[in-house]
Structure 1
């Protein structure tokens, strides 16, 4: 799938969510913890952009449904036209005395063929729309699961407040000369 969608150079929601996943999966782990360090602004920005893109993809789904309805209506009209033409043809044939039986047989066959053709077209249209909607449902389901997983990973317990300067042995009188001793943090 391309990074760019029908919106020019803007990535689609699935691409954005994959990027969030890559950021979190590739983030540097925190020592002695299951937590990772991520750039909050970058991840939140990607998630906000994903949320903005969802309405466009939902609009496309509604458009597909509208297209399906219009196609089904067109097929129904064509089927009705075929049936009407068959009825008119049958009535004309009935008026001819010598070929009445043949006309009735042909008319019935024409009507049945028209019904079968209309039914076949309707079923094909429904199958096509169902496949497209099924694919879209899968993409939306993955998108929702990815967003939920991303949000869950971003929920971390608040970090404890940093120790006061006195606890670290730093004099407040000379902050520029203070030395940070990481080993002192690990001592009980």
Structure 2
């Protein structure tokens, strides 16, 4: 490790020691703030030279970190785009499923209404048939009673002694 890289952070914070990189940045700020900074070609060359020196002074880790931050931003932007695309697809699918769900709910409600109506009609039809059967059974019973009465009457008549009529 070079002497430049091996410094005490407390010295930098207290201002006893400045980092060369920060010094170059302060110089660049002063140049940019001065009037007519880009008025001549030599000033432009000086600024470019300061920037190149700054880049050269940057530790490899800092340049790598800068590259990593750019890559991270690119990756995050791509991930955001993919996430937004996934969300939009999910929303479309969700809307479709909700619509299908409403259709299904309406179909279930309609089916239940039809089933209820069919059950009511079947119950009414059964009651009507039972009433008709009861009526027919009553008629049959009446006929049996009539036949039974007729048979009883005829039995009694047959059991009575015959009256013999004498000739005159």
Tell me the TM-score normalized by structure 2: 0.35
Determine which structure has more spread, i.e. the larger CA radius of gyration: 2
Tell me the TM-score normalized by structure 1: 0.32
Higher relative contact order (CA 8 A, sep 6+): 1
